[in-house]
Amino acid sequence: MTPIRMVFCLLLAAPLWATAQGRPELMDDGIFYQVLFDELEIADLGGEEAIAWDGQAWVGTDTRRLWIKTEGERVSGDRDEVEFQLLYSRAIAPYWDLQVGFRHDFDPKPSEDWAVLSIRGLAPYFFEVEGELFIGNGGQIELRFEADYELLITQRFVLSPNIELNMFREDDQQLGIGSGLSELGLGVRMRYEIRRELAPYIGLRWIRKYGATADFAKVAGTDKREVEFFAGFRFWF
């Protein structure tokens, strides 16, 4: 059985296990779970069509949880990006979690494994932020930072801007990655909550490559700036 299937079996078994216990439980000791796909979309990349996703699932108590994350983009054979993370999460302060674990990149080739250390939480003024440190088995180091904000337009329409940036320790010409600030992305999307658990959305994302990453993109025949229009669904249970 693959690690992904094992984790999903745990997710399915967790609520049954918690119900089967013969003693009453304190809220802090209860077993909870959630599956969330924040992004499941089709994007237009200047004439090319891509399928993208960003999903996560967790099971555990209020302070200790097992997380799985997956995100990626399917464009073409040489531009696909697919990653999977398995993490242990521990609450370190109100609204803040520290996570450790591993990440595996299925695409682009060659695949690579990374150690993961991340912190995520709710910053002042209700900004959701996440900072991740990845250490590759070849010595490469990646820093990733993301921040999101949700603005309630009406009871059902939600405007959500976000920013994401990536930095690397050293150049990797094979993967088209340059040292220092590699990529900056700015996006905004508008979703309509049919229910809180189900919301279609549309949006726009601007991506800019920097330094050697931009030079590698030029050699490969791609632009250092990209604008993506996308539409998709957000759902959770």
Please give the Cα distance from 121 to 54 (Å, whole number): 17
pLDDT surpassing 70 at residue 10 = no
Closest C-alpha to 75, from 234, 236, 220: 220
pLDDT in tens, 18-28: 433 444 444 55
pLDDT > 70 fraction of the chain, expressed in percent and rounded: 86
Cis ω before 94 (30° cut-off from 0): no
Please give the Cα distance from 56 to 118 (Å, whole number): 15
Mean of all residue pLDDT scores within the chain: 88
pLDDT score of 78? 63
Neighbouring CB atoms inside 10 A of 172's CB total: 19
Which three-class secondary structure state does DSSP give residue 31? coil
pLDDT in tens, 66-100: 999 999 999 875 678 999 999 999 999 999 999 99
Structural domains of the chain ordered from first start: 3-22+30-236 (2.40.160.40)
